[in-house]
């Protein structure tokens, strides 16, 4: 199924969830929080120079209860990813700061298990696949007196497929449910393609590396 069709399907499910539904079967919620991202598969010698990048994440989700403990939860999220790095020029004099910023729409489909389902406080575990579409990619470059931003979209894979593992809790309130989740996401698609790009009028070449997205997210949300 194409990513556009997946987005449409999630949106339609969201609309359906707003209409009256069987109690305990389907619910709708929103969430937002912090995403800390990085990349694996860095070339030898880069490990000490790769830095985590902080960003925001958030969106909407549906929860369809199979029984009182187990449910399926498709989500649609906006997530900022990327990483930072410090490199040196050809003669190892000038330090070059690089920050790759990536904007994604993510579509996780999670299997969720809630403990103590009859209590107000319910610890949860969840896991599932995640499909992502990259709609923005920018490389920020800074060294000495120069700084600038480079459109990196032509050298970035548009799609990513990964897996999500996490846990958290649901807390039942009088009008809804407060939710918190902490998750680890790992992508299986290489982030960067081979090609040329320009910095301050100079053409640079990058060879395809084995960079793959991974990160930690912490989100607080509410189920209506």
pLDDT score, position 114 = 96
Q: Which residues contact 94 (CB under 8 A, 6 or more apart)?
A: 88, 143, 144
Q: Is residue 17 over pLDDT 50? A: no
Domain ranges in the chain are: 3-223
The per-residue pLDDT for 183 is: 98
- CA 102 – CA 82 distance, rounded (Å): 5
14, 66, 188, 186 alpha-carbon torsion, rounded to 10°: 90
Q: Which two tokens stand for residue 29?
A: 């919620």
Q: Please say if the pLDDT value at position 196 is more than 80.
A: no
Question: What's the pLDDT at 96?
Answer: 76
- Calpha distance 192→70 (Å, rounded): 38
Copy the structure tokens of residue 224: 């209506």
HSE-CB of 101 using CA atoms within 13 angstroms = 12
Per-residue model confidence (pLDDT) at position 15? 41
> Helix/strand/coil (H, E, C) string of the chain?
CCHHHHHHHHHHHHHHHHCCCCCCCEEEEEEEEEEEEEEECCCCCCCCCEECEEEEEEEEEEEEECCCCEEEEEEEEEEEEEEEEEEECCCCCCEEEEEEEEEEEEEEEEEEEECCCCCCEEEEEEEEEEEEEEEEEEEEEEECCEEEEEECHHHECCEEEEEEEEEEEEEECCCCEEEEEEEEEEEEEECECCEEEEECCEEEEECCCCCEEEEEEEEEEEEC
- Interacting residues of 189 by C-beta distance below 8 A, sequence separation 6+: 157, 159, 160, 161, 162, 212, 213
16 band by pLDDT with thresholds 50, 70 and 90: very low
pLDDT exceeding 70 applies to what percent of the chain? 76
**Percent of the chain surpassing pLDDT 90:** 59
Q: Per residue in 99-144, pLDDT tens?
A: 999 999 999 999 999 999 889 999 999 999 999 999 999 989 887 7
Instruction: Dig out the tokens for 71 from the structure.
Output: 């449910």
Express each pLDDT in 159-187 by its tens digit: 999 999 999 999 999 999 999 999 999 99
Residues 67-86 have a mean pLDDT of: 94
Rounded Cα distance, 212 and 46, in Å: 14
Fold of 3-223: Porin (2.40.160)
pTM of the model: 0.80
């Amino acid at each position: 199924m194409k990513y556009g069709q997946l987005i449409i399907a999630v949106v339609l499910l969201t609309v359906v969830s707003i209409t009256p539904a069987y109690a305990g079967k389907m619910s709708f919620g929103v969430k937002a929080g912090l995403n800390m991202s990085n990349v694996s598969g860095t070339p030898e010698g880069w490990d000490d120079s790769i830095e985590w990048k902080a960003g925001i994440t958030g969106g909407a989700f549906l929860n369809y209860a199979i029984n009182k403990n187990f449910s399926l939860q498709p989500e649609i999220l906006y997530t900022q990813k990327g990483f930072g790095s410090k490199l040196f020029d050809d003669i190892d004099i000038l330090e070059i700061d690089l920050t790759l910023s990536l904007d994604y729409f993510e579509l996780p489909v999670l299997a969720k298990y809630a403990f103590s389902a009859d209590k107000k406080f319910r610890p949860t575990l969840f896991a599932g696949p995640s499909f992502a579409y990259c709609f923005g990619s920018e490389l920020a470059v800074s060294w000495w007196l120069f700084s600038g931003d480079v459109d990196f979209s032509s050298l970035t894979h548009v799609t990513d497929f990964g897996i999500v593992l996490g846990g958290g809790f649901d807390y039942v309130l009088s009008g809804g449910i407060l939710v918190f989740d902490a998750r680890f996401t790992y992508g299986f698609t290489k982030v960067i393609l081979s090609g040329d790009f320009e910095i301050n009028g100079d053409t640079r070449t990058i060879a395809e590396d084995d960079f793959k997205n991974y990160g930690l997210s912490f989100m607080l949300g509410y189920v209506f």
